[in-house]
Structure 1
Amino acid sequence: MLVREAIPSDVPSVAKIHMDVWKDTYEGIIPNEFLEHRTYDELEDTWLDRLFEDPETREFMFVAENEDGELVGFIVFSTDGFENYQGVIKSIYVYSDYQRQGIGTMLFNAAVEKLAEENIKNLIVWTYKDNKNRKFYEKMGGKVFREVVVDVEGRKVAKIAYVWDNIKN
């Protein structure tokens, strides 16, 4: 498995991973109308704009590529900060057939290494509390920071934040 920085030609595969894993992960947590609202083309445009066309972007993406050169996961993170946390994981998605094989860990570690190069000292990520995969963040050393309830298309949904106070350890 190869983890590398994303390039513009990765975006169609990233959009597919994003949509497919997002629907699978959040089905039953957030309303189906919200899950069905996005399209692959819309996600492609969003990722191209955010990562490659915006000269002010502070976001980074790494992808996981299998032996056949196919993308199977990605992580997006930024140096935008939230409260006292300098680094933010925005998304991490891995196809279900590739989960629990260390790919998420490889992506996470690559992101932490890049953030450290950017002199980022700490990190936060928000996820839905009912996300069956959220224990991954605990496995990676994240500590529960805060819980909030948000409105998603009229449904109240709990979100939870995990933090790393010192990513250089």
Structure 2
Amino acid sequence: MEVRTGTPQDALLVASLHTDSWQAAYAGLMPASYLDGPLRDQQADMWKSRLASSTQRDGDADGGHLLIAEHGIDLLGFAYLIPGHDGRILLDNLHIDPAQTGGGIGGCLLRHAFAWAATTHPGQPVYLEVLRDNARAIAFYTKAGGHATAARMVRFPAGFELPEIEYTWDADAISAYTAAH
């Protein structure tokens, strides 16, 4: 497996994996009409837009950074980080091909994401938002040293709301994770 920086040419593959990941992880949590309906087109539009400007400057259109995990031509997973105005780094996406979960790809991507954050934004915390009922992801983030720092409701474009939890890693937790892995 190789981890590399993503490019605009990765947009549609990333969007497809993102959709597949949501369909697997959020079945029963989100309406099936959303997961099997407009989600695929929404993800494609978002990723094309996100990555469209990455060739014009360092980072993607929103200042983010895409990491791609692949084996040969197969996309295994991806992570996407966005520096925030408050100094924190949002790990906006960490998704693995549903057929590949449990094989260490998520941990590898998390390590690379933390290394990127520590190098480009030293000393800044990394956080993410996860649906409260996504038990598998919560177990992964807790095992990786993340701490629940907030809880709130999130509203989706399709008009429904779900509870989410924010997990945060401070600079020491980031260093500890990257050193241990």
TM-score by length of 2: 0.81
- For residue 168 of structure 1, what is the aligned residue in structure 2? 175
* Deviation of 1:33 (Å): 2.9
Task: Call closer, same or farther: CA 1:38–1:154 in 2, change over 3 Å.
Answer: closer
Aligned residues: 165
Distance 1:109 1:45 in 2: 28
Determine if the alignment matches structure 1 residue 70 to structure 2 residue 74.
yes
How many Å separate the matches in 2 of 1:73 and 1:34?
22
- Retained in 2: the 8 A contact 1:25–1:132? no
CA contact (8 A) 1:148 1:160 kept: yes
- Out of 72, 88, 95, the position equivalent to 1:93 is 95
Is contact 1:51–1:60 with CA below 8 Å preserved after alignment? no
Q: Pairwise CA RMSD of aligned residues? A: 2.0
1:128 paired residue number: 131
Q: Which runs of 5+ in 2 are unaligned?
A: 177-181
Report percent identity of matched pairs: 26
- Structure possessing the higher relative contact order (Cα contacts under 8 Å, 6 or more residues apart): 1
After TM superposition, give the deviation of residue 155 of structure 1 in Å: 4.4
Q: Distance between the aligned counterparts of 2:159 and 2:44, measured in 1? A: 27
Specify the SS of the correspondent of 2:135. Answer: coil
State how far apart, in whole Å, the 2-side matches of 1:92 and 1:133 are: 13
Q: Which letter does structure 1 place at the counterpart of 2:163? A: A
TM-score by length of 1: 0.86
- Which of 116, 119, 125 does residue 117 from structure 1 map onto? 119
Write the distance in 2 (CA, Å) between the matches of 1:96 and 1:149.
26
Report Cα offsets for 1:48-94 as digits up to 9, x if no partner.
3212326553111111102x32112111111125x6x6111101110
For 2:77 and 2:126, the matched residues in 1 are separated by 20
What's the offset of the Cα at 1:151? 4.1
Of 48-57 and 11-20, deviating more is 48-57
